[in-house]
Each structure stands twice: as C-alpha cells, then as structure tokens.
Amino acid sequence: MLVPTVDTELVPLARSASRFAEAGVRTLVSDAAALERCLDKWTLAETCRETVPVPRTVLLEAGAADRFGAGFPAVAKPRRGSGSRGIVMAAEPDALTGLPHDGSYLLQELPPGTEYSVDVLMGPDGGARAAVPRARDKIVAGHILDRPGLSRFAADVASALGLRGICNVQVREDREGRPALLEVNPRPPGGMSLTVAAGVQMPAWAVAGLLGADVPGHIAHHPLSAVRHWEDVVMGPDALGDVAGRA
C-alpha cells in the first residue's frame, strides 16, 4: 500500500493508480480530477462557492485590484503551490506591483476571524465518516473542538470536490463569524496526531476502507488540547560526561 503525503506527487500517482494495482499495490489517493480541483486554488474557489461561503476571489490580471471590490488588506497567492510559498499579504494595491499579473496568482479577501483546520475522512463511497476541527492559538498549541457546524462545512466541501480517503479543509471566520473556505489539502495533514489522540484513527480507517473493510458511518471524536514545549535540563559537568558517554 502506498500513502502519499506530498502535494506534487498526488496527481502523477493518481494517474498511475491502475499500474500500481496491476503490481498488487493499492494507493490511498483521490482520482486525478478531484485532486486538480483542490490543487488549483482558483478552480477550488469556483467549484465550492455554490456549496459553502468562499472569500471574494479574483485572478490577478490587469485591473484586478479595481475589480476586486473586497478592499484591503487582502492576500495574493499562487494558484498552485503548498504551504506559504509565494504568498503576499497586501495591505494596499501597491503591494501587488511586483507580482505576475498573468492569471498565475489570485487575489483573495482575507476574513478577519479565527482560522480552523478540519481533518476529514471520506469513505470509498464518497460519504464523510469523520470531520475533526482544530484551532491553533499559536504555533505550539492545538485544540480539538466539538463544532458540528465546522464538521458539516468541511464534509460538504470534501464531498463537492469528490475526494476520497483523508483530506484537510482550512477555514476562517468572516466578519459575521461564519466559516469561509480558504484551502483544501487532499492528503493526510501534518497535524494528524491530534486527530488520532482525539479518538479518530483516520490513517487506520482509511487503510481499512481501501482494503475493502467496513468503515463506520460516523466516527466521533472528543475535544482536547495539546501543547508542545522545550524543557531545560540542568546538570553538573560530571553528570553531563556520563550522559555523553552513554550516548
């Protein structure tokens, strides 16, 4: 079984899934068309705007700032790419001057509220089995939440995109406190350990579904919080030498 976790590998692996199957290897990946809808952020916004609220989004082309209509600050980001690479926080239209105005970037309204990340498990039949929201107050803390509205939002997005297996839906609240879609990662996310700790063994259930086992129609989670921290250990020179010798 092959479980890809790198965005640039997803579409080539999906297109080669039948060849892997011929060699007896199953791949935990959505079909290529669904992946393309996620990985192109403009197509993502256009696909989902009839299903859930999406921030005002336009392609960054000549005159885009005039057509935008959502005001600044805003965010400009490549249509393709992962993480924060290439993202520009634009406080005013002049901040867009150095960016390509050829449709390879998009300009998007920046909702001012809390950002959430929702891990979603989709069954082989396209139905959502679990959707686990979490908030991150700062880089070292994560909170798993019981927010049924966010769970339904993320499940609706994953369903509209036609995803299978594990995905991650990123959401931010607008001025009225309503969730709005930012991005979708069509693969297992880096924060999956928190979802597992909250009682949803998404990797195990995703593999089980891929192997043809029955997956429960709904897998519940429980709220929790996790904090990572560094700890200094103070010791004398002799003790330090002992530790170094054992290492």
pLDDT tens sequence across 1-47: 999 999 999 999 999 999 999 999 999 999 999 999 999 999 999 99
Of the candidates 97, 104, 38, 116, the residue with the CA atom closest to the CA atom of residue 77: 104
pLDDT tens for 36-84 read 999 999 999 999 999 999 999 999 999 888 889 888 999 999 999 777 7
Q: What does the domain layout of the chain look like in residue ranges?
A: 7-49+113-227, 57-109
Cα(77)–Cα(89) distance, integer angstroms: 9
pLDDT tens for 83-124 read 778 899 999 999 999 999 999 999 999 999 999 999 999 998
Cα(15)–Cα(33) distance, integer angstroms: 9
Instruction: Please give the biggest Cα pair distance in the chain.
Output: 69
> What is the radius of gyration, based on Cα positions, of the chain?
21
CATH number for region 57-109: 3.30.1490
Return the DSSP state at 160: H
Query: Is residue 170 very low, low, confident or very high in pLDDT (cuts 50, 70, 90)?
Result: very high
Contacts of 27 (CB under 8 A, 6+ apart): 1, 2, 3, 4, 13, 14, 16, 17, 20, 21
Query: What pLDDT does 151 receive?
Result: 97
Fold of the CATH domain 7-49+113-227: D-amino Acid Aminotransferase; Chain A, domain 1 (3.30.470)
